[in-house]
Amino acid sequence: MQRPTARLQVDELESRTVPSASWLPRPILHSAHVAPAAAAQDIGLPGAIHGTLTASPGIPDAGAHFAVNGSGWLLGLGQVSVSGTLQGTGFIAQGHATGQLTLTNAKGTVTVDLVGPTQQGFAPLPHRFHFTVSGGTGAYQNLKASGEVFFLQQQNGDTTTFQMLFT
């Protein structure tokens, strides 16, 4: 009896940031490959984005304001470019840092709202945010997703870089 043979092949993948091996994603659906009714279910967007934070001029009492620009890879969306804003707490006793990101690829856009935990006024940006998808266009117009974002930032001279891990 002859053994069946199979020729193994290696497919090259695009460069991407990969979450830690200890991180286990929930099963998700890719909105471009499911019926509209299924695409409306609430899913996560596990993956990572990275880029730069640029302080924006504004009223200091309103809290630090940052422009966000970067790129990354999220399961269900693939490679995305990222733009948006983050706003720290200002002159208040307690509040929440907030933000809004727009994730863009060739299939459409996804708008993600971020809300941090309760913090004292003028606190630095938190290390964790809750995210909720608030809108989408193209293949993502019915996408519903929410979860947690772990936010890391680092000052490199005049440039502040960040990494966001979505779970």
Average confidence (pLDDT) over 85-103? 91
For 28-127, where are the E strands, in sequence order? 42-43, 47-55, 65-74, 78-87, 94-105, 108-120
> What backbone torsions phi and psi does residue 155 show, to the nearest 5 degrees?
-90, 125
Average confidence (pLDDT) over 27-32? 41
What distance in Å separates the CA atoms of residue 46 and residue 9, rounded to the nearest whole number?
A: 27
In the beta sheet, which residues pair with residue 102? 83, 111
> What backbone torsions phi and psi does residue 135 show, to the nearest 5 degrees?
180, 165
Q: Is pLDDT larger for residue 93 or for residue 149? A: 149
pTM, 2 dp: 0.73
Residue 22 lies in a domain: no
Provide the pLDDT for residue 66.
Answer: 93
What distance in Å separates the CA atoms of residue 14 and residue 73, rounded to the nearest whole number?
A: 10
Provide the pLDDT for residue 92.
Answer: 79
Residue 160 lies in a domain: yes
Residue 109 lies in a domain: yes
Lowest mean pLDDT of 18-27, 48-57, 71-80, name the range. Answer: 18-27
Range of the domain at 115: 40-47+64-166
Residue 54 lies in a domain: no
Residue 85 lies in a domain: yes
- 152 pLDDT more than 60: yes
Provide the pLDDT for residue 38.
Answer: 38
Residue 27 lies in a domain: no
Total domains present in the chain: 1
Average confidence (pLDDT) over 3-18? 54
Residue 104 lies in a domain: yes
Longest dimension (CA), the chain: 80
Average confidence (pLDDT) over 148-164? 93
Provide the pLDDT for residue 56.
Answer: 83
Q: Which amino acid is present at 9?
A: Q
Residue 13 lies in a domain: no
- 15 pLDDT more than 80: no
In the chain, the N- to C-terminal Cα span, in Å, equals: 49
Q: Is pLDDT larger for residue 32 or for residue 151? A: 151
- 111 pLDDT more than 50: yes
